[in-house]
Amino acid sequence: KEGARGGVGGGNDFQWCFSQVKGAIDEDVAEADIISTVEFNYSGELLATGDKGGRVVIFQREQESKNRPHSRGEYNVYSTFQSHEPEFDYLKSLEIEEKINKIRWLPQQNAAHFLLSTNDKTIKLWKISERDKRAEGYNLKDEDGRLRDPFRITSLRVPVLMPMDLMVEASPRRIFANAHTYHINSISVNSDHETYLSADDLRINLWHLEITDRSFNIVDIKPANMEELTEVITAAECHPHQCNVFVYSSSKGTIRLCDMRAAALCDRHTKFFEEPEDPSSRSFFSEIISSISDVKFSHSGRYMMTRDYLSVKVWDLNMENRPVETYQVHEYLRSKLCSLYENDCIFDKFECCWNGSDGAIMTGSYNNFFRMFDRNSRRDITLEASRESSKPRAMLKPRKVCTGGKRKKDEISVDSLDFNKKILHTAWHPKENVIAVAATNNLYIFQDKIN
């Protein structure tokens, strides 16, 4: 039954409440402001977004204060920086967009925070650090900046560090370039904390985080003759605990799991996950809608989840022949595939994410709707990220799409869904019921309200 009580996520009954919305309210949306990726860091204290303009914005969670009991850990801007600039490849006569395709945080290693951001071609490692002291006192200048007579220096002054207002700096630490011929779709930090992988349409490379001038090609599916190309890599991720295991998904709806212990080149997979196709539902669109747009390991490392156009599937790593769970995201679109093909929506790449305990999953849909599925109770819910319900601590009302028959009150008919409002990127706080949902140029943050 579709969430009358709404409680999907934590096991206990609770309801999702509006917390914050970021970004301009204008109806005109600048292309550069469209959010292209959302990612919490390991502790959930920081939340990063990337946009089509190549910017990265980092939000930090406020400490809960006694004075404002209702502002439970709101996220405020911590740092904003331009990660990528538009470029032009003169050799190939190609424009390289600045759009941030993915952001991945590194496990924290000292007081500073580090993240990887990538556009189509170049991956960058950024350091975000705080500074609260400033050196004062020069020998050759006065306090107000006037130069002193160099011949009348009677004593040497060593600068003294004085406290100052907190300043957050983002500095590029490494640039990993020139390793991808095709567009990078995924980056994933390995659990050994020293390597990460990057995947494009046809190849996966393994990098050392400290070495920028070389990477190892571990998967290459490029056929000798490009006319024989039938399949591309759509996403790749490292296992959260086993540093030798990674998976990659393909446009044919299959997932390959590789073990880097077996050989230096992982062209041969160790496991191959594929659900046999149901011949009765075969159509012209079958192959397109089975293409996997995202793959994510559960935090436990036991399961992985894949998103295709109409559904989310959960796979047990020990069972290759079919998923253990399948959730329909917007089955009502099956009858509309033709028009979705014509307006290119069928190629939208929806992402998906787990909650901290792996008990619930979330993914996006159209009309600014997003879906959550509770794996234990099998309950699901459709929620909407909209300005209308964005009053502080307003409870989110479950939405329902009417599929034929008479439309009931509060239902919306399939035909009136807005396909330009799509939720592709969502993120779930690693420990709490806090979610971040990117709706075009707005970032919505919702939290639970325990009954």
Partner 1 sequence: MAGADGDDSLYPIAVLIDELRNEDVQLRLNSIKKLSTIALALGVERTRTELLPFLTDTIYDEDEVLLALAEQLGNFTMLVGGPEYVHCLLPPLESLATVEETVVRDKAVESLRKISHEHSPVDLEVHFEPLVKRLASGDWFTSRTSACGLFSVCYPRVSSTVKAEIRQHFRTLCSDDTPMVRRAAASKLGEFAKVLELEYVKSDIISLFTALASDEQDSVRLLAVEACVSIATLLPQEDLEALVMPTLRQAAEDKSWRVRYMVADKFSELQKAVGPEITKNDLVPAFQNLLKDCEAEVRAAAANKVKEFCENLPEDSRETIIMSHILPCVKELVSDTNQHVKSALASVIMGLSTILGKDNTIEHLLPLFLAQLKDECPEVRLNIISNLDCVNEVIGIRQLSQSLLPAIVELAEDAKWRVRLAIIEYMPLLAGQLGVEFFDEKLNSLCMAWLVDHVYAIREAATCNLMKLVEKFGAEWAQNTIVPKVLGMANDPNYLHRMTTLFCINALSEACGQDITTKQMLPVVLKMSNDQVANVRFNVAKSLQKIGPVLDSNALQTEVKPVLEKLATDQDMDVKYFAQEAISVLALA
> Please, which residue, 135 or 324, has the CB nearer to partner 1?
135
> Residue 258 in contact with residue 270, Cβ under 8 Å?
yes
**Binding of partner 1 at residue 150 (CB under 8 A)?**
yes
> Please, which residue, 239 or 313, has the CB nearer to partner 1?
239
**Binding of partner 1 at residue 267 (CB under 8 A)?**
no
179-198 footprint of partner 1 as x/- string (CB under 8 A):
------------xxxx----
State how far Cα 46 lies from the chain centre: 13
- Which one of 67, 93, 155, 318 is in contact with partner 1 (CB under 8 A)? 155
> Please, which residue, 202 or 209, has the CB nearer to partner 1?
209
**Binding of partner 1 at residue 153 (CB under 8 A)?**
yes
Amino acid at 432: E
If you ran DSSP here, which 8-state letter would residue 45 be given?
Answer: S
Encode 81-110: b = buried (16+ Cβ within 10 Å), e = exposed: bebbeebeeeeeeeebbbbbbbbbbbeeee
CA distances to 17, 239, 369 from 392, in Å: 8, 38, 19
> Please, which residue, 191 or 440, has the CB nearer to partner 1?
191
Residue 252 pairs in a beta bridge with none
The nearest distance, CB 241 to partner 1, in angstroms, is 8
Tell me the C-alpha distance between 294 and 351, whole Å: 5
The nearest distance, CB 73 to partner 1, in angstroms, is 22
The nearest distance, CB 239 to partner 1, in angstroms, is 11
Amino acid at 349: K
The nearest distance, CB 190 to partner 1, in angstroms, is 9
The nearest distance, CB 207 to partner 1, in angstroms, is 14
**Binding of partner 1 at residue 168 (CB under 8 A)?**
no
**Binding of partner 1 at residue 262 (CB under 8 A)?**
yes
- Which one of 5, 68, 214, 261 is in contact with partner 1 (CB under 8 A)? 261
**Binding of partner 1 at residue 139 (CB under 8 A)?**
yes
**Binding of partner 1 at residue 160 (CB under 8 A)?**
yes
Residues numbered 226-245 forming contacts with partner 1, rule: CB under 8 A = 241-244
Tell me the C-alpha distance between 441 and 438, whole Å: 7
Which burial class, exposed, middle or buried, applies to 183 when counting CB atoms under 10 A from its CB (0-12, 13-18, 19+)?
A: middle
If you ran DSSP here, which 8-state letter would residue 3 be given?
Answer: -
Tell me the C-alpha distance between 200 and 180, whole Å: 7
Residues numbered 40-69 forming contacts with partner 1, rule: CB under 8 A = none
> Please, which residue, 161 or 229, has the CB nearer to partner 1?
161
The nearest distance, CB 216 to partner 1, in angstroms, is 11
> Residue 320 in contact with residue 304, Cβ under 8 Å?
no
96-135 footprint of partner 1 as x/- string (CB under 8 A):
-----------xxxxxx-x------------x-x-x-x-x
Size of site (CB under 8 A) for partner 1? 43
Count of residues in the chain = 451
> Which spans in 250-371 are helix H?
286-290, 337-342
Tell me the C-alpha distance between 1 and 146, whole Å: 75
> Please, which residue, 139 or 321, has the CB nearer to partner 1?
139
Tell me the C-alpha distance between 367 and 345, whole Å: 12
Binding positions for partner 1, rule: CB under 8 A: 107-112, 114, 127, 129, 131, 133, 135, 138-141, 150-161, 169, 191-194, 210, 241-244, 260-264
